[in-house]
Structure formats: structure tokens, C-alpha cells
Amino acid sequence: MTLDAVLARVDADLDAAMERLMTLLRVPSISTDPAYDGDVAKAAQILADDLNELGFDASVRETTGHPMVVAHGNDEGPHVLFYGHYDVQPVDPLDLWNRDPFDPVIEEQNGKPVIRARGASDDKGQLMTFIEACRAWKAVTGKLPAKVTIFLEGEEESGSPSLVPFMEAHADELKAEVAFICDTGLFAEGVPAIVTQLRGMMKEELTITGPSIDLHSGMFGGIAMNPIRVLSGILAGLHDEKGAVTVPGFYDDVPEISDALRESWNKLNFDAQAFLAPVGLSAPAGEAGRTPLEMIWSRPTAEVNGIWGGYTGAGFKTVLPSQAHAKVSFRLVAGQDPARLHDNFKAWVEAQLPPDCTASFAPAIGSPASQMDTSHPVFETTLKALSDEWPGDAAFIGCGGSIPVAGYFKEILGMDSVLAGFGKDDDAIHSPNEKYDVESFHRGIRSWARVLGGLAQG
């Protein structure tokens, strides 16, 4: 069988594939720091050159920020777009690294070989799994079993300021039947997953102002309203005794998951206590009556991320502050409108203000949730391919976080995304000593090789 030959090629070429990844990992493509602009451009060119050698029509595309890499295959079959990002996070604090973050090496961790370097998991190792799968197919058959467009970004770790303008300007070029995004992870050891729903985000920063200046608590305490007292009361009322958010209209557009999806999540046997134990917790604290996976995948949340006001230095300064501040974030699910939530939250806060106090709000930052239509046959093709490769059966899962590019693909290009990655919870992405398991890299390549083969079969 052709697929067997392709998989055998992946196995035989693993050492060379690892060295190609190492070459990319040696480039400090830190997008947030202008000092590394040249290195970001260098990484883009390495990828474009590699893709051209594989027979793609690849080019580095300039933007107002860091460049994009776009590559088009000339093969026939279902048209898919693969997205990844080649920029990486800063390495600070450097003294917590056990070695140079850009001097990649194979080490052993928990009895398994891992690739240690910044970007090993997020996202250079992940994106290279797809490119290496394409390489294996090309080596065996001289072509790919599908029409493939590859789209690689250089600004994901710095907020993607050029992404939306670039996608809007090149929408016709980038459109495909479906997108693949390899920036997620396994559900559990040996158990792959496809993320089919991502929560959105609404970020609010509010300031409560009372007196025009800070006041002496001996002279004004008891008669003057303290903004910290007001803010604390408002935030304390953000949830009721059952853990539900109290902002009016918050749940109006929140859908219930289907019985079939709930049953499939229950089969994952998620252990909430085991999940919480490493961070010193033991009991789920979300909405009463919801399973732990519902709490983190399919239910919206409200969290206070920071509170400040008055004097917080050493010793005491007995003042009633003029202002108190807080940052509040909402994780949103499909159906919730960030703009409507902002209006409701603002009105809810203002309705609780006592005399002499006002509330002001920084410009809200929001993005809606993403819900994938899994009826497209590519989802089942990918599910089968992952299940065939890994010890455990693949599952459709949710994700508590946000991956904005999936929403942009839906909004701008009109296509759903298959989010399938091979990272692990202990990969330490964004942290010192980031790693990517050699097994994740190897099986990741084999997984994409199987997916590509499945596309040709319809």
C-alpha cells in the first residue's frame, strides 16, 4: 500500500527530519523584540526555501510587521490550508534555563527523549510535522494526495497585528475547503484530539472613582465612601452562591451541548482532582450541576484577574484612595456577543454605584468564540487517521482557551478549522526549558501523512 510506503519513509527519515527542525530551532525568531527582526526574517526564509525544494511555489510576503510565508502546491484533490507560526516567545528569565534556549538538544525527561529548545513545541516542532509529512509523500509518490496551501505567520506570539489585514487582502488566495491548525495538544498520554470549539474572550478594565484626592482615614474614615469598598462589593457579586455569573443576560445566548457530545466527553474519564492537584487545588469551583469538562470547554466564565488601589507598599499609609481598579475577563462560548456583554457589564456596574462614585471603563477588547461544523468529511478523516496512529482513540474535544486565527478563518475565509496538535501539558510552552517529545514529533509526522492519505480517499 502507498500509505505503508509513506509511513516507512517517515520512519527512515526521522533523524534527517530532526536535524531540519534543529536548524529552525537555532534561529531566535522572537517576534516581540525588534532586536530579533532579522532572525524572524531568517526563519521565514528558511521555511520558504525548504518548501520550494519540496516543489511548492513558496514565497516570503512582507507586511507592516513580520513576514508571512505562503506556499501553494500544484497537486489535485481536496484543497486544504495548513497554518502554523514560526515566531517564538521571549526566553526570559534566562537564568531559569538549563541550557541555551536556541541551542537545541535531545535530552531525556521522564524516561523519554525530548527536544529541548524555545519553540520546540510552540510552534516550530508542530508545524514541521506537517511539512515533513508532505516531504514523505513527495519522496514516495512524487506528489501530494491533496491540493495543499501552507500559511505560516511570524507574529502569533506578539498579537498578530498584521494577520487580519493580510488575510483580508489575500482572501481569494488563501481560501480552501478547510484549514488545519497544529497548535494544540494531546488530550492525555497517547490520546490524540481534535478541538472543535474554542472559547472567545472579553477583557474589561474598570476604575471606580470616589473622592477627588486620597483622604486621611482618621479624618474621613466612616463619613467618606471608599472606592475599594465599592469595587470589592461589585466584584464579590459577580457570581452567585452556585457559581453562576450574575451579569444580566449573560446566559441568554449560551447553547447546551448535545447529548451525544456530552456522552463522548464523559467517556474521556476526565479526573478533575488529578487535573487540579498539581496546582494545589482539589475541588472544581465552577457552576453547580456542570461536569468539569463542561466548566472548561463549553460554559462561559467571569474571572477577576487583578485588583489594585490605595497604598500597597511596605508598612502602612492609612488613606482612603481616590480610585480603585480591576481587570475582569470573560471567556465566551458560541452565541455570545462580546459587544453586548460589554454593554450589559457596564450597565450592571453602574447600577450598583452609591452616591459620589463614578465608574470608567478602558476600551473593551473582545473576540467571539469559535464552533466548528464537524459535518465536513475532513473531520472524520482526521479523527480516523489520528486513531490509527496513536494508542488511544481520538476524540472531538473543546478548549477553554482562545486561538483567534480559527475565528478569523471562519469570519474572513468562510472555512472551519481542524485543530489537531501533538503537544503535552508538560511541554512548558512560554516558559523556561520548553520541550517537545520526540514521540510527538515522530507520530505527528505519521499522523499528518495518514490524514493526507485519507483526503485522497474522500
C-alpha cell at 261: 457530545
For residues 118 and 172, membership in a common domain is answered with yes
Asked whether residue 139 falls in the same domain as residue 113, the answer is yes
Are residue 240 and residue 347 in the same domain, yes or no? yes
Domain membership of residue 137 (yes or no) is yes
363-378 pLDDT, tens digit each: 988 888 999 999 999 9
Ramachandran quadrant class, 289 (left: phi over 0; alpha: psi -120 to 50; beta: rest):
left
Number of compact structural domains in the chain: 2
Within-domain flag for 162: yes
| C-alpha span between 413 and 404 (Å, rounded) | 13
C-alpha–C-alpha distance, residues 291 and 63, integer Å = 44
Residue 422: CATH number of its domain: 3.40.630.10
**153 Cβ contact partners less than 8 Å away, ≥ 6 residues apart:** 68, 83, 84, 85, 86, 87, 160, 163, 405
Which CATH number goes with the domain that contains 204? Answer: 3.30.70.360
Length of the chain: 458
The whole-number pLDDT of residue 402 equals 80
Question: How far is CA 255 from each of CA 226, 334, 378, rounded to the nearest angstrom?
Answer: 40, 7, 25
Residues 225 and 347 in one domain: yes
In this structure, what DSSP letter does residue 285 have? -
Q: Give CA–CA dist 295/301, Å, rounded.
A: 8
CA pair distance 261, 256, nearest whole angstrom: 10
Cα gap 152→300, rounded to integer Å: 31
From the CB of residue 205, how many other CB atoms can be counted at a distance below 10 Å? 17
**209 shares its domain with 248:** yes
185, 322: one domain: no
For residues 126 and 173, state if they share a domain. yes
C-alpha cell at 99: 541550557
Host H or E run for residue 443: helix 438-456
Inside any domain, residue 287: no
Q: Which domain holds residue 362?
A: 200-254+300-367
Note whether residue 268 is domain-resident.
Answer: no
Establish if 294 belongs to a structural domain.
Answer: no
DSSP string covering 185-251: B-SBTTB-EEEEEE-EEEEEEEEEE-SSS-EEHHHHBTTBPPHHHHHHHHHHTTB-TTS-B-STTTT
Please say which residue of 315, 348, 367 terminates a domain. Answer: 367
The per-residue pLDDT for 1 is: 80
Same domain, 21 and 165: yes
Q: Which of residues 350, 367, 384 is at a domain's end? A: 367
Choose among 93, 167, 98, 157: nearest CA to 124. Answer: 157
Q: What is the pLDDT of residue 458?
A: 64
Rg over alpha carbons for the chain, rounded to the nearest Å, is 25
Report which of 418, 421, 420 is spatially closest to residue 377, judged by C-alpha positions.
Answer: 418
Write phi, then psi, for 310 (nearest 5 degrees): 70, -155
pLDDT tens digits for range 206-231: 999 999 999 999 999 999 999 999 99
Looking at residue 88, the DSSP 8-state letter turns out to be: B
The answer as to whether 444 is a domain residue is yes
Q: Which of 330, 398, 329, 340 is nearest to 370 (CA)?
A: 398
pTM of the predicted model as reported, rounded to 2 decimal places? 0.87
Question: Both 388 and 417 in a single domain?
Answer: yes
- 207 exposure class (CB count in 10 Å sphere: 0-12, 13-18, 19+): middle
Instruction: Give residue for cell 517537545.
Output: 436
Task: Say what the pLDDT of residue 111 is.
Answer: 96
Cell of residue 284, nine digits: 472544581
- The number of beta carbons lying within 10 Å of the beta carbon of residue 458 is 8
Extract the residue ranges of the chain whose pLDDT is less than 50: none
Give the DSSP per-residue string, 111-164.
Answer: TEEEEESTTTTTTHHHHHHHHHHHHHHHHHHSS-SSEEEEEEES-GGGT-TTHH
Same domain, 219 and 305: yes
Dmax (CA) for the chain in angstroms is 87
What end-to-end distance do the CA atoms of the chain give, in Å?
17
Give backbone dihedrals phi and psi of 304, rounded to 5 degrees, phi first: -85, 120
